[in-house]
């Protein structure tokens, strides 16, 4: 058994190195792989020590440690299933608004993930010219400009009219993207669509595939009449990392008492 634990630890360390080489040490949450490696190493050492000292360890200690480990793995596997099962969301036409969740912006331009989202938004616009896009994303540390401004400029240059775009520049995490965008939609309804309420709207959520489950979870609490996911693909090298990161975010929501 200890061989399996040490092998898993080695795999985590190797994947961490791949992430650093491929995407840089600043890749969000990449240290989780070193943390997982440490857990597997500790389990491997415990297993090896238990075999060498069968009579020198309280009987309940191995039961407690292995039960805790299995429960943690089970919870993580369940959340990972939720994340992966929601990745393939096909767009439906006729959305009144589409919230586009922002992503990183660099001095050299927008990130690949953000470009994929914006290209998907443009494709959707070509088939749905009445849809209003809410471009959501603030300015996090290291971003030269707010994400929403970069998104607006990109889509405007591609030919999306100004009238089809609303900007939300305060959010820095997914929950804020969804909640703050709702306030932007409310203001737009008051200005241009008197009599309409959130419950009358068909709203699309456009984000990366790994982020889809959590984004839709937040959107379903906002009182819209109908919610549709519109997903974009993720780089295959980083896809496992992003799914693990999302699973950890869901676990944190659960620990805060939220339904997942």
Structure confidence by residue, pLDDT tens digits, 224-255: 999 999 999 988 999 999 999 999 999 888 88
pTM over 0.85: yes
Coil/strand/helix, residue 100:
strand
Instruction: Outline where 24-111 has alpha helix (H).
Output: 32-52, 60-85
Return the DSSP state at 166: E
Cα 62 from Cα 78, distance rounded (Å): 24
Can you give the pLDDT at residue 48?
79
Cα 177 from Cα 253, distance rounded (Å): 16
Cα 208 from Cα 28, distance rounded (Å): 15
> Which tokens sit at 204?
């699309």
Q: Which helix (H) or strand (E) holds 133?
A: strand 132-136
Query: How many residues in the chain?
Result: 260
Assign 258 a pLDDT band (cuts: 50, 70, 90). confident
Q: Is the pLDDT of residue 56 over 90?
A: no
What is the tens place of the pLDDT at every residue in 64-99? 888 888 999 998 899 999 999 888 777 899 999 999
User: What is the rounded (10 degree) CA torsion for 189, 151, 102, 144?
Assistant: -130
Helix 212-219 vs helix 60-85: crossing angle, to nearest 10: 80
* % of the chain exceeding 70 in pLDDT: 95
Assign 198 a pLDDT band (cuts: 50, 70, 90). very high
Assign 50 a pLDDT band (cuts: 50, 70, 90). low
3-state secondary structure 51-72: HHCCCCCCCHHHHHHHHHHHHH
The b-or-e profile of 130-140 (16+ CB within 10 A means b, else e) is ebbbbbbbbbe
Look at the domain 97-234 and name its fold: Rossmann fold (3.40.50)
Query: What is the domain partition of the chain in residue ranges?
Result: 2-85, 97-234
CA angle 186, 188, 194 (to 5 degrees): 85
């Amino acid at each position: 058994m200890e061989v399996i634990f040490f092998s898993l630890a080695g795999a985590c360390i190797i994947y961490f190195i791949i992430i650093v080489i491929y995407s840089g040490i600043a890749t969000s949450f990449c240290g989780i792989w070193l943390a997982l490696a440490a857990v597997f190493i500790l389990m491997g050492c415990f297993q090896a020590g238990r075999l060498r000292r069968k009579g020198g360890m309280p009987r309940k200690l191995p039961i407690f440690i292995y039960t805790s480990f299995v429960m943690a793995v089970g919870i993580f596997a369940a959340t990972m299933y939720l994340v992966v099962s929601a990745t393939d969301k096909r767009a439906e036409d006729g959305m009144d608004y589409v919230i586009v969740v922002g992503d990183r912006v660099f001095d050299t331009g927008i990130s690949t993930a953000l470009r994929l989202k914006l290209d998907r938004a443009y494709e959707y616009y070509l088939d749905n010219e009445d849809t209003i896009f809410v471009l959501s994303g603030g300015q996090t540390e290291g971003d030269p400009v707010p994400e929403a401004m970069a998104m607006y400029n990109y889509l405007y240059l591609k030919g999306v009219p100004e009238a089809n775009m609303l900007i939300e520049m305060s959010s820095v995490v997914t929950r804020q993207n969804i909640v703050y965008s709702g306030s932007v939609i409310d203001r737009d309804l008051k200005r241009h669509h008197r009599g309409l309420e959130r419950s009358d709207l068909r709203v699309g959520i456009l984000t990366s595939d790994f982020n889809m489950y959590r984004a839709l979870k937040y959107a379903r609490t906002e009182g819209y009449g109908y919610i549709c996911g519109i997903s974009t693909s993720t780089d295959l090298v980083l896809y496992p990392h992003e799914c693990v990161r999302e699973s950890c975010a869901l676990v944190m929501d659960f620990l805060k008492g939220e339904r997942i």
